[in-house]
Amino acid sequence: MADRNTVDLGTGYDDVQLRFRSDEQAGIAAVTVDSFLDQPDAEAVRVEPGDDARDLLPHLSRLRLVEVNFPSFGDGRGYSAARLLREHGYTGELRAVGDVLVDQLRFMRRCGFDAFAPDAPLNEADAAAALERFDHVYQPAADEAVPIWSLRHG
C-alpha cells in the first residue's frame, strides 16, 4: 500500500486498500456531482451523503469511477446510492471511501462496491473473515448471490 500521507485530496485518504476488480485502477481524480454534471469530459465522481445518485443515471456510460463517501460509519445513504447505480447498469469501479469499517464490508459488497479506501487501514485477516463469514443470503441485492429461499423453493 502507498504511503498514506501522500495521497490526500482534501476529502480523506484515497488509497485503495481492497479492490475486487481485474481491470486497471482508475488513476483520475473524482469531482463533486455538481462539477461532474458541468464537465462533459469528467470520468470520475465523488458522491457525498446529500447528493442524489439519480442525477448520474444519464451519464453512466462515461463514468469509470464512482467514489461514495462515508463521513460516518452510521450514515447508510451510500448503500442506496451504490445499489441504485448498479441496478441501472453501472459497471465501472464503485469505491467506498471514508469511515468504512470491517463489519460493513460484506454488506457494501452486496450493494455493489468493488473497491474500498478506508480512512483507517483495515486488518487484512479481519476483512477476509468478514467477507467469508456467511455462505448464504436472505434477500436479493446488487450482487450475484442467490437468496436461500430461492435455493430451497426454486
Class of domain 18-153: alpha beta
Closest listed residue to residue 46, CA positions, set 21, 65, 73: 65
Give the predicted TM-score (pTM) of the model: 0.82
Instruction: Quote the cell numbers at residue 97.
Output: 471511501
Separation between Cα atoms, residue 102 and residue 12, nearest integer Å: 18
Choose between 73 and 69: higher pLDDT. Answer: 69
Residue listed under C-alpha cell 462539477: 35
pLDDT digit string, tens, across residues 19-29: 989 898 887 88
pLDDT digit string, tens, across residues 1-13: 344 433 333 344 4
134: left (phi over 0), alpha (psi -120 to 50) or beta: beta
pLDDT digit string, tens, across residues 96-106: 999 999 999 99
pLDDT at 136: 74
